[in-house]
């Protein structure tokens, strides 16, 4: 990754549009980006944080919680800021663990149904759930982020 990028290059690297990057900055989702000659210059620090924000969004964290995380981060490395950021991330991780348990249970139930259908109709072509013929598009693809940013 280059040490500095234009907004167009940052958009390409993140899968977001330039408009979305500007919007995220405007609403405080990302820190104000340094400028050189009136143009935004995205360095490694900015890009790393944008990717972190995208990871949080990809896990379903609300924009409000991400904004709160950014606000707390701007307070610096004070004990209170660190504790509150840790609490916010811990709550979200607990939520994700609950979702993982629910998804795992759903997968087990689906696999049971698939096995049942295969036992009833062994000659039918029922795809293997572990190796799908055509995988569903990932929710975190650049085209998905552009549509849903």
Q: What CATH number does the domain containing 34 carry?
A: 1.10.1660.10
Q: What is the DSSP letter of 5?
A: E
Domain total for the chain? 1
Q: Across residues 111-140, what is the average pLDDT?
A: 72
Q: Of 132 and 117, which is predicted with more confidence?
A: 117
pLDDT at residue 148 is higher than 80: no
Provide the pLDDT confidence category of residue 29 given band limits of 50, 70 and 90. confident
- Residue 101 falls within a domain, yes or no? yes
- Residue 85 falls within a domain, yes or no? yes
What per-residue confidence (pLDDT) applies to 125?
73
Three-state secondary structure readout of 21-54? HHHHHHCCCCCCCCEECCEECEEHHHHHHHHHHH
What per-residue confidence (pLDDT) applies to 1?
58
Can you give the residue range of the structural domain that contains 30?
4-124
pLDDT at residue 139 is higher than 60: no
% of the chain surpassing 70 pLDDT: 83
Measure the CA angle with vertex 47, ends 36 and 142; round to 5°: 115
Closest CA to 7 of 93, 27, 37: 37
Q: Is the pTM of this model over 0.85?
A: no
Mapped onto helix, strand or coil, the DSSP state of residue 72 is helix
List all residues 6 or more positions away from 75 whose beta carbon is below 8 Å from its beta carbon: 81
- Residue 18 falls within a domain, yes or no? yes
Mapped onto helix, strand or coil, the DSSP state of residue 83 is helix
What per-residue confidence (pLDDT) applies to 132?
53
- Residue 147 falls within a domain, yes or no? no
Q: Across residues 46-65, what is the average pLDDT?
A: 94
- Residue 86 falls within a domain, yes or no? yes
Residue 10, both tokens: 């940052």
Say how far apart CA 3 and CA 12 lie, in whole Å.
15
% of the chain surpassing 90 pLDDT: 67
**How many Cβ atoms from other residues are within 10 Å of residue 110's Cβ?**
11
């Amino acid at each position: 990754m280059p040490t500095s990028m234009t907004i167009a290059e940052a958009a390409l690297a993140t899968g977001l549009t330039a408009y979305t990057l500007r919007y995220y900055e405007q609403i405080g989702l990302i820190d104000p980006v340094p400028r050189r000659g009136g143009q935004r210059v995205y360095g490694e620090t900015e890009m790393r944080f944008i990717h972190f924000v995208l990871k949080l969004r990809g896990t379903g964290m609300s924009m409000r919680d991400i904004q709160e995380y950014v606000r707390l981060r701007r307070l610096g490395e004070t004990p209170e800021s660190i504790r509150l950021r840790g609490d916010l991330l811990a709550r979200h991780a607990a939520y994700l663990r609950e979702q993982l348990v629910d998804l795992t249970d759903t997968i087990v139930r689906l696999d049971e149904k698939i096995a049942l259908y295969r036992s009833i109709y062994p000659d039918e072509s029922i795809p293997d759930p572990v190796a799908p013929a055509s995988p569903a598009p990932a929710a975190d693809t650049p085209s998905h982020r552009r549509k849903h940013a």
